[in-house]
Amino acid sequence: MRHGATEWSERGLLCGWADVPLSQSGLDQARQLRPRIAGRRFDGVWTSDLARARDFAHLAFDAAAPDRRLREIDFGTLEGRTFDECDSETQTALLDFDGFAAPGGESVQSLETRLRGFLGDLVQGDHLVFTHGGVIRLLHRLRGLSHSPKNGELVVLDWPIDERQDASSARFMT
């Protein structure tokens, strides 16, 4: 599940580790999700430790274990800028997202290392994950897919626990 809207996302600002709150629209998105997942049982419920994901998880589902590895990519000096304020080389790297490294922040490779650590700790079963757009985008890319989720979007993704075997998998909703 991608967290709901924030004032920054509504203004088109890059937001990684900046701990901005949900906007009214984001709060409403969480409340609208609640009936869709009410009564569902999960083997794990996880959230990024950033307020926008943590608060979204609380409103949509109640309890979720915070995990720092589910944070958005750290945009460094790009935090709070719009896409149009970035130079053309940065824009191209952001769109491609493979090999991107934020100045003064984090690389996609570092984000991938964090996420693989999280995924490696999952037990087989269904997991509900409240996280960020870049995290979901990277997870899709790692499965050979392409998807950039909208705020408040529920996505289902099957992930093999042991990537050498498709029989043992974790199914998680992001």
Provide φ and ψ at 71, rounded to 5°.
-65, 155
Q: Is pLDDT above 90 for 18?
A: yes
Distance CA 46, CA 98 (A): 25
Distance CA 60, CA 37 (A): 8
Strand partners, 101: 107
Mean pLDDT of 18-47: 96
Q: Is pLDDT above 90 for 147?
A: no
What percent of the chain lies above the pLDDT cut of 90?
76
Q: Is pLDDT above 50 for 165?
A: no
Domains and CATH numbers, the chain: 7-173 (3.40.50.1240)
**pLDDT for position 174:** 52
pLDDT in tens, 114-133: 999 999 899 889 999 999 99
Q: How does residue 167 score in pLDDT terms, banded at 50, 70 and 90?
A: very low
pLDDT in tens, 62-99: 899 999 999 999 999 999 999 999 999 999 999 999 88
Q: How does residue 173 score in pLDDT terms, banded at 50, 70 and 90?
A: low
Decide: pTM greater than 0.75.
yes
Least confident residue range of 43-52, 64-73, 116-125, 160-169: 160-169
